[in-house]
Amino acid sequence: MTIGGVPLLLTTVMLAVTSGLSGAAASDVQQEATSASLASVLPAPVVATATQGVTYRITTTTTIYAQAGSAAAADIAGQLAAILRPSTGYPVPIAAAPSSGPADGISLLLSGAPTEVGDEGYQLDVTDASIVVRANQPAGLFAGVQTLRQLLPPAVESASVQPGPWEVAGGQIVDHPRFAHRGAMLDVARHFLPVSVVKRYIDEIALYKLNRLHLHLSDDQGWRIAVNSWPNLAIYGGSTEVGGGTGGYYTQDEYRQIVAYAAVRYITIVPEIDMPGHTNAALASYAELNCDNVAPKLYTGTKVGFSSLCVSKEITYTFLDQVLGEIAALTPGPYLHIGGDEASSTTASDYTTFMNRAQQIVAAHGKTVVGWHDIVNAPVLPSTVAQFWGTTTSNAAVTAAAQNGTKVVMSPANHTYLDMKYNSRTRLGQHWAGYIDVQDAYGWDPGAYLAGVGETSVLGVEAPLWTETIETLADVEYMAFPRLPAIAELGWSPMSTHDWASFNQRLGAQGPRWHVMGINYYHSTQVSWPTGS
């Protein structure tokens, strides 16, 4: 049975289950229910094809075979084994894949994938004897492994031995992303989040095939990365946060650890130093960065728009060059985000002067500029990426930029801002962009949202999480789940699969997984959670 588009498959299964089959037909229901797991993948795959009556079972003899000679494939095999071993209790050894063709067991191969799946896609084949993931690049193998996790029972995510059985429904998935940029953002400036929280969030976003983590590393309330040439930024500028807590910052070694942890999960870190506004922590740390040479006090409130770097001083550009130079050197990814939002204490002409120089400095360090969409109010380099965060569906300046070739990351605040409350009763979060329940997060099309900014201008989507009210991992998770998977699906899945009923079923099926993984999620009443999750 070949079905292009998962919702149809799921619908078929649900019809079979609800039509009251019993007795002799029970095994058919079981069979259908098994094939439903192919249709349960989130984000929805491009094509899922069930093979009736076929099931692969992981057993005590199952081996993972990784593409011979590929350290990346071996590493991904190791990550898969690290999930399977604790919950199955099986040894799950890893071996080099034989050149003679896929062996019985689980194979992760960098050969034989269709060209159309590109660098991040994969093909997954499940038969009675084997599970074979094929990809053109390691990123695709990693994505295929995330799909395989979802095809196994939720208990596979457990840290302790569970009864099983560990079965995967037979069939084939051929899958690749719609957009190149599928991001999440953590604001570690308003409240500092330690490395352990960032790593856990990386694990969580990787589950849903996101490939960018944007770190908002500086704001009025704190500077969160050590800069050797300007040490007070972190030591003093990082010493507080919203509400007056002790803040904190990443040493350069810790930042490298985050980058490396993300890299083996095929996630690129996009560091942001917000400027020329949102800079009180820097201005408080160095008096000479202020036009009047007077350092303001550290700030622990939540107002915006009151700070600006001094555009007319040359030392400002020495600062930019040295700070961005150090961060560029620590960051293997292509992007440096320079903020540019809400610069209401910078005149329009100063903003243009500043952004011209800032973009040149980023380019001189070999990186591509990303800015909040306010940056298009200045002339932008052809490579500069604008991140739309507005709440309207038209923005003349962004449209003009897009029509001039600027690529746009879509983060409309009223759909993607994970710090917005779900409803008026949500304890955490803000609501200046409205309340965002799951249907609001899911119900839009990034490729046809902003007037005059079509699919080809859209680099992708991103879900920012600002932390004025967010302090702990539990807070982060509560705001991200279940909305983050909605944004992830908009970034990955073809628009032809976009269907609330299907998404709702697949999202609900994640609940038991989050339960097993200890993810603190909001039990939105819009979602059909399975009973007991």
Q: Does 254 engage in binding with ligand ACM (CB under 6 A)? A: no
Compute the distance between CA of residue 247 and CA of residue 240 in angstroms, rounded to an integer.
Answer: 4
The number of CA neighbours under 13 Å toward the Cβ of 451 is 7
Q: Compare residues 299 and 372 and give the one whose CB is closer to ligand ACM.
A: 372
Q: Compare residues 125 and 341 and give the one whose CB is closer to ligand ACM.
A: 341
- b vs e for 296-334, b when ≥16 Cβ sit within 10 Å of the residue's Cβ? eebbbeeebebbbbbbeeeebbebbbebbbbbbebbebe
Q: Compare residues 104 and 342 and give the one whose CB is closer to ligand ACM.
A: 342
In contact, 129 and 108? CB cutoff 8 Å: no
Compute the distance between CA of residue 296 and CA of residue 383 in angstroms, rounded to an integer.
Answer: 35
Compute the distance between CA of residue 477 and CA of residue 125 in angstroms, rounded to an integer.
Answer: 32
The number of CA neighbours under 13 Å toward the Cβ of 167 is 14
To the query of whether residue 342 is one of the catalytic residues in this protein, the response is: yes
Q: Does 342 engage in binding with ligand ACM (CB under 6 A)? A: yes
The least CB distance from residue 58 to ligand ACM, in Å, is 45
Instruction: Name the residue among 329, 390, 333, 384 with its Cα closest to residue 356.
Output: 384
The number of CA neighbours under 13 Å toward the Cβ of 138 is 18
Q: Compare residues 283 and 409 and give the one whose CB is closer to ligand ACM.
A: 409
What backbone phi and psi angles, to 5 degrees, belong to 326? -65, -40
The residue sitting closest to ligand ACM, measured at its beta carbon, is 341
112 Cβ neighbours under 8 A, 6+ residues apart: 123, 134
The least CB distance from residue 202 to ligand ACM, in Å, is 22
Amino acid at 297: K
- Judged by CB under 6 A, the residue of 249, 319, 389, 478 near ligand ACM is 389
Tell me how long the chain is: 533
Q: Compare residues 275 and 509 and give the one whose CB is closer to ligand ACM.
A: 275
The least CB distance from residue 386 to ligand ACM, in Å, is 11
Helix (H) or strand (E) holding 511: helix 500-517
Q: Compare residues 75 and 342 and give the one whose CB is closer to ligand ACM.
A: 342
Q: Does 351 engage in binding with ligand ACM (CB under 6 A)? A: no
- Judged by CB under 6 A, the residue of 341, 419, 440, 475 near ligand ACM is 341
In contact, 204 and 197? CB cutoff 8 Å: no
The least CB distance from residue 338 to ligand ACM, in Å, is 12
Q: Which two tokens stand for residue 28?
A: 């058919």
The least CB distance from residue 205 to ligand ACM, in Å, is 19
Catalytic residue among 314, 342, 455, 462: 342
What backbone phi and psi angles, to 5 degrees, belong to 138? -55, -35
Query: How many chain residues touch ligand ACM (CB under 6 A)?
Result: 4
Q: Does 372 engage in binding with ligand ACM (CB under 6 A)? A: yes
The least CB distance from residue 256 to ligand ACM, in Å, is 27
Q: Which two tokens stand for residue 42?
A: 């989130």
The least CB distance from residue 388 to ligand ACM, in Å, is 10
The least CB distance from residue 433 to ligand ACM, in Å, is 9
Q: Does 462 engage in binding with ligand ACM (CB under 6 A)? A: no
Compute the distance between CA of residue 297 and CA of residue 300 in angstroms, rounded to an integer.
Answer: 10
Q: Compare residues 35 and 467 and give the one whose CB is closer to ligand ACM.
A: 467
Angle of helix 138-151 relative to helix 195-207, nearest 10 degrees? 80
Q: Which two tokens stand for residue 525?
A: 């009443």
- The site map against ligand ACM for 291-330 (x = CB under 6 A) is ----------------------------------------
C-beta atoms surrounding 497 within 10 Å:
22
Q: Compare residues 389 and 422 and give the one whose CB is closer to ligand ACM.
A: 389
Beta strands in 434-498 (DSSP E): 458-465
Residues that bind ligand ACM (CB under 6 A): 341-342, 372, 389
Catalytic residues: 342
